[in-house]
Amino acid sequence: MPKTILLNPGPVNIRESVRNALLKEDICHREEEFTLLLRSIRAKLLEVYNLDPKKYKVIILAGSGTAAIEASICSLVTQNKKFLVITNGVYGERMVEIARVYSIPTIKLSYEYGKRINIIEVEDILKKEALSMVAVVHHETTTGILNPLEEIGTLLKEYPGKFFMVDGISSFGGEVLDFEGWGIGVLVGTANKCLQSVPGCSFVVARQDILEQARREINPRSVYLNLLNYYHYQEEGTFPFTPPIQIMYALNQALDELLKEGIERRIERYRRLASMVRERAKGINLKTFLDGSLSSNILTSFHLPEGISYAYLHDVLKEKGFVIYAGQSGLSNKIFRIANMGEISESDIERLFEAIGEII
Ligand SMILES: *Cc1c(COP(=O)(O)O)cnc(C)c1O
């Protein structure tokens, strides 16, 4: 049977070599073999963007991306000052929701889904408020908009003591990220999106001084999602709880392949696929939801064609072996999404648009 092509923004189609890595030997996480695996993954995640291991630390978590977001917020954001979350989609809103559950005083600067963040409005808040941390989603998967990390980060450098937290879950491994230049303090990522591994573990890349400060100043608010506890154990080469060992084998393999491909070439491959998606769509008169200049390399959202429901489009494409993705929240009956992360080829995209063309 031909494989189903996943055009949803993760989990993605993985390579056979990554799948085969799941079948490695059984090991105990209190043994040296596990320490080597953990050390290898933590080092490779820094290597992807060439980060200085003295300055940045990686913490691996069992759980999907949201687990790592929640662990970062509840472990690193103090309740004594305000937390600014800039949102223009569902995932920004999720950070606000997490902060609310932990009773963190939060300012939400929100924009319509897919609308550009206004940096002047961000600056107004920075001038007025005593903030601890500013958070934003890099690639807002709700619409495919790429938010301006450089602008926000550069501005934040003028306000020392306020850290920059980024949800990079759907961009790490697929977009340019300049940690130093953009002043990124904490960035959350996951295994099953642009890193092209299986779901089940996520990670945080954080500046060591932010981790140390949080350890001194913030009392734990969660047992299982205590990021600093994971940090402490992982520096010793182990995990506080049972780690997802097989999933980590797969991630280690996927990272080897990313480093071999090189981040620039991975980004370029995604960019080519995304522009092909947009060109082919234009050829059959599909309208993109975003103004083109705001789009990521990774996902495109389209208005549903006149008179065709998402359910119909989805079901016919599924029969032909393609899984597309619905809009979320208020966009659910307006748009559909095509992500081009994972092992997808140009011929898959050709066949996809032939199929969509036939339907409409
Ligand atoms: C996928 C995604 C998440 C996390 O979703 P999970 O279901 O927890 O994996 C968070 N933020 C963004 C931007 C995402 O694309």
Nearest to 185 by CA among 303, 76, 54: 76
Task: State the CB neighbour count (10 A cutoff) for residue 307.
Answer: 7
Distances (CA, A) of 83 to 59, 165, 181, 236, 360: 22, 10, 22, 31, 46
- Residues 35-89: tens digit of each pLDDT: 999 999 999 999 999 999 999 999 999 999 999 999 999 999 998 999 999 999 9
- For residue 202, the ligand 1 atom closest to its alpha carbon is 9
Residues with CB under 6 Å of ligand 1 are 9-10, 64-66, 91, 137, 141, 167, 169-170, 190
Q: What is the pLDDT of residue 1?
A: 54
- Are 193 and 169 in contact, with CB atoms under 8 Å apart? yes
- Taking the C-alpha atoms of residue 169 and residue 146, their distance in angstroms, rounded to an integer, is 12
Residue 128 CA, ligand 1 centroid: distance in Å: 31
- Are 258 and 168 in contact, with CB atoms under 8 Å apart? no
DSSP 115: P
Residue 37 CA, ligand 1 centroid: distance in Å: 25
Q: Which long-range contacts (CB under 8 A, 24 or more apart) does 22-29 make?
A: 22/198, 22/246, 22/247, 22/249, 22/250, 23/246, 24/246, 24/249, 26/245, 27/245, 29/238, 29/239, 29/242, 29/243, 29/245
Helix residue spans in the chain (DSSP H): 16-21, 32-48, 65-76, 90-101, 119-128, 149-156, 208-217, 227-235, 245-261, 263-283, 310-319, 346-359
- Residues 293-347: tens digit of each pLDDT: 899 999 999 999 999 999 999 999 999 999 999 999 889 889 999 999 999 999 9
- Taking the C-alpha atoms of residue 145 and residue 158, their distance in angstroms, rounded to an integer, is 26
- For residue 190, the ligand 1 atom closest to its alpha carbon is 9
- For residue 193, the ligand 1 atom closest to its alpha carbon is 1
Residue 91 CA, ligand 1 centroid: distance in Å: 7
Dig out the tokens for 356 from the structure.
């969509």
Reported pTM: 0.97
- Are 241 and 63 in contact, with CB atoms under 8 Å apart? no
